Every structure is written in structure tokens, then in C-alpha cells.
Structure 1
Amino acid sequence: MMGILLQVVADSTAATVANATSAVSEKLSLWSLMSKGGILMYPLYILLIITLFVFFERWQVIRKAGKLDPNFMRMVQDNIVNGNLSAAQSLARNNGSPVSRVIAKGIQRLGKPIDVIEKSMESIAEIELFNLEKHLNILSLIAGIAPMFGFLGTIAGMIQLFYDINTTGNFELSVIAGGIYVKMITSGTGLVIGLLAFILHNYLSTQVDKTANDIEIASADFMDILQAPTK
């Protein structure tokens, strides 16, 4: 009799473990988890879409701005030294990069004092960098608020969970554990989106810094060109 009872218990335990394993496998499906995150998952989806849109839009603009003919400054120098200012101006205007637009402003101010030329170029450089950095603050904002949205979703879910437990009086561990892990989905999603936005923001900022460095180098070379004929 005892042997039969033990066999029944063992079979029941095995079936329970198998069912639990199957349930866990099903619950750990990515799309299944995402669908259980609750209503606050939708703002997180929107933040993710905005993050990707802003990144690819800015990435294309910044990548285009970083393209410059390696011989650009040499050609500008040759034209200025030869007195062909119109050709130098045309070359700078037609290049279409922030560096060339800064140099074009410097060529346009030729004949004025050096400090006036330099200030004009600095003003254009600031405008160009501002245009490149446009919308990057959105990524910075998302990096900060996405985890907060996720945490808010978890807190709201936990409040609802404990309210249901208090109302129904169901204190089974499986119910509590299942409810908790589902409510943590929003926190995990928010952290992932926030981390992604932070990484993309820093990547784009680095590319803008490279363009700023190119502008500074080109501006210094241009000022040297202006000083060369007077030597």
C-alpha cells in the first residue's frame, strides 16, 4: 500500500514538474512576455520608435557632414595664393560640408581685419555644430525617462497585484511569483530602451565632436594661409 502511494506521489510530482517546465518555457517566450507587460508598454514602444528614428535621421546628417575632400584645403590655398578668390569661394560653397561653409565665410570676409574674419568663422562654426546637435537632446531625454516609465509600470502592476491578492485572499506562491515577474517586464524594457538611447546619444555626440575638430583644424589652416602671403 505504501509503495503504491509513493508511486502515485512520484508520478504526480513528475507531472507537476513537467507542467511547470512547459509553463516556464511558454512564459519565457519574448513576445509572450512583451504582451503581458501592461498598458505602460505602449509608451515604451513609442519611445523606442522615437529613439531609432532620431538616431538614423541624425546619423545620416552627421555622416554627410563629415565627408570632405582631403585636398579641399590645399585647393583653397592654391586659389587664394594665386589671387583667384572667386574660384576659392565657389569651391567652398559647392562642397556642402560644415567645414567648407566655415571656410566660405572666411573667404567672404577677406580684406577685413584678421580678428573680424576669425569671429565670423567662429559664429558660423557654432551654427553648424548647433544644426548637427539638433534633436540629440531627445535621445538624452529618453535615456532618462524610459527607465522611469518602466519602473512606473512595475509599481502600478505591483499595486494591482497586491490589491487582487487582498481582495481574493489568494496567497499562493505561484500566483504571487507569476504576478511579480510579469510586472518586472516594464522595468526591464525601460532599462533596455534607456541604455540604447544613452549609447546612441554618446555615439552621435562623438561624431559631432569629430566634425568640430575638423572645423577647428581647417580654420587654423585657413588663418595660416592668410598670414602666409605677408611673410
Structure 2
Amino acid sequence: MNVLDLARAAGPLLWVLIALSLYVVYLTVARAQALSRLGRNADALIERARAVTAESGPAAALAEVDRAGHPAPAANVLRAGLGRADRGVDAAGAAMQSALLAEDTRLYAGLSALGTAAQIAPLLGLLGTVIGMVRSFLVFSSTAAPTPAQLATGISEALVNTAGGLIVAIIAYVARNALRARADRIAVAAERVREDLPGWLARPESRPRPEARLSRAQEYRDQNYDAQLYRDHERGTQPQQAGLTPVLAFDFDEASEKTRAISSGPNNTGVFRTTTPAKSAPAARSDGTGKGQ
């Protein structure tokens, strides 16, 4: 008995199962190709966008992402957030959330159809089983002594439909789970971008410009040196090192972005400090008593 004989024995319901199986195979192949394209690794692009955001701002990072043209959902979520970064972190977060919902629709498209096929295929097979058994009982009712060949027609129809329904259901169920696992991994990468981008945007605003801050080592040296000069002043010892000027206060010149020392003169008392230009304006010194404000 070949396939055609089985199809004839199973009746018209088997052709419905065959059409359903072809649809399941087509949908599985199409979704696998789509997820393969959407699942391309975007880590390099994300790291490059992070670096560009820190150096040149979100506008430059957006241009970099647009230039790359990456198809991954993570890149699309990143593009949406950078596009609204000029309106604030909250606006960028809302844009990324909307983009993430749109990407979820793309990622999980077709999976519900596979799930439906996995559910109805066994039911179609069960329907064929019932129809085959009914035919077998009709043989009993119409014939006093039915032959095995007459009974085999209905029984074969029942069993072939059951087997066909189970085969289609297994293929659809396995394909759906495999594709869903792949889509979940891609969605997690996009969700990670949505969680990380607000930190990229907030970090440059919370720290001073590089040209307006002293290094930690320089600040530490300045603090220690000021303390030593103050102790020398309390003991009445005048520092003899070159480059020291008696200073009462500092004045910050915004035009030249340099600190100009206001000297108290060689005979006045005050805290001594080197007049090395600095980018940031130090706090005012003492009012002549030798103690800082």
C-alpha cells in the first residue's frame, strides 16, 4: 500500500491535514528566515553608540546608528531612544517602549498560527477517527456477515487520520517552541538596550565638563599643600619656595577661563598658595584671619 492508497483509505479529511501540514512547513521556514535576519548580533553597534554618546552626544550616536542600518530590534529600539533624547530621558524611554512593542509584533508574528495548527490538527485526526469508526459500524448494520476487507476500510480511515493529525501537531508544536525561544532571545537584547540607554543619557549631564574639573590626584595634592601652608602660617613661618604668592582670595576670569589671584601684598597675612592657572574657579580664601571660610 502506497501513499495514494492511504490517502484514498483515509477519506477527504486527510487532504485537509495535508494542506495544514504544508502551511505549517511554509510558516516555519518563513519565520526561521525572518528571525535569522532580525537576530544578527548588534553588540558592536550598541557599544559604538555608547561611546559616541559619551563623546559627542546622542545626535552623533543617532547618525551612527542610522548609517549602520542594522535590522536587529535592539538597533531599532536604540534608534528610537536616541531620536527623542533631546526631549529628555522620559521622552526617550517612552519612545523606546513604543518601539519595543512594535518589535515584539514583528518577532512573534506567525507563532500564534503555529500554536493554533498544533491544537486543531489532533482534533481533525480525531474527527477522522470517529468518521472511520462510524463507517465500520455501518458495515455491521448493513451486512449480516461482514468480511474483513469491508471492516478494514473504516478502520484504516480512522487510524490514518489519527496518525496524520498527530504528525502535523508534533511538527507545529516543535516549530512554534523553537521559534519562540529564538524570538525571546532577540527580545531580551532589545529590552536590555531600553534599560541601559537612560543611563547613557543621564551620565553626561550629572558630571562636569572634562575641561572644567581637576583630576582627583591634583585635588588631593592641593588639599595637602594648603594644610601645610596653613600650619606654617600659624607658626609664623613664611614659605620660601619659589612661585608662592600671599593670597587673600581668587577671582575667576570667565573670558580667559583662568583663575586670577588677588594678592594681599608682601606684608599682609594670608594663606599662601601657588597661582597655577586652573579651569575651575576655586572657593574664596580667608578674610585675613588665616582660616578658610
Partner of residue 273, structure 2: none
- Answer whether contact 2:129 2:162 (CA < 8 A) is retained: yes
Is 1:64 paired with 2:37?
Answer: yes
Give distance in 2, aligned partners of 1:38 and 1:166.
21
Give distance in 1, aligned partners of 2:33 and 2:75.
18
Is 1:95 paired with 2:70?
Answer: yes
How far apart are residue 156 of structure 1 and its match? Answer: 1.1
Structure 2 SS opposite 1:54: helix
In structure 2, stretches of 5+ residues that fail to align are: 208-293
The aligned amino acid for 1:64 is R
Give distance in 2, aligned partners of 1:191 and 1:124.
39
* Structure showing the higher helix proportion among its residues: 1
* Structure showing the higher strand proportion among its residues: 2
Partner of residue 188, structure 1: 163
Structure 2 SS opposite 1:131: helix
Matches within 5 A, 1:36-185: 36-83=9-56, 85-93=58-66, 94-172=69-147, 175-176=150-151, 179-185=154-160
The aligned amino acid for 1:191 is L
In structure 1, stretches of 5+ residues that fail to align are: 1-26
How far apart are residue 77 of structure 1 and its match? Answer: 1.2
Call closer, same or farther: CA 1:91–1:60 in 2, change over 3 Å. farther
Call closer, same or farther: CA 1:82–1:223 in 2, change over 3 Å. same
Two-structure CA RMSD over aligned residues (Å): 1.9
Q: Structure 2 length normalisation: TM-score?
A: 0.64
Identity %: 23
Number of matched pairs? 204
Matches within 5 A, 1:25-40: 27=1, 32-40=5-13
Give distance in 2, aligned partners of 1:173 and 1:209.
53
The aligned amino acid for 2:169 is G
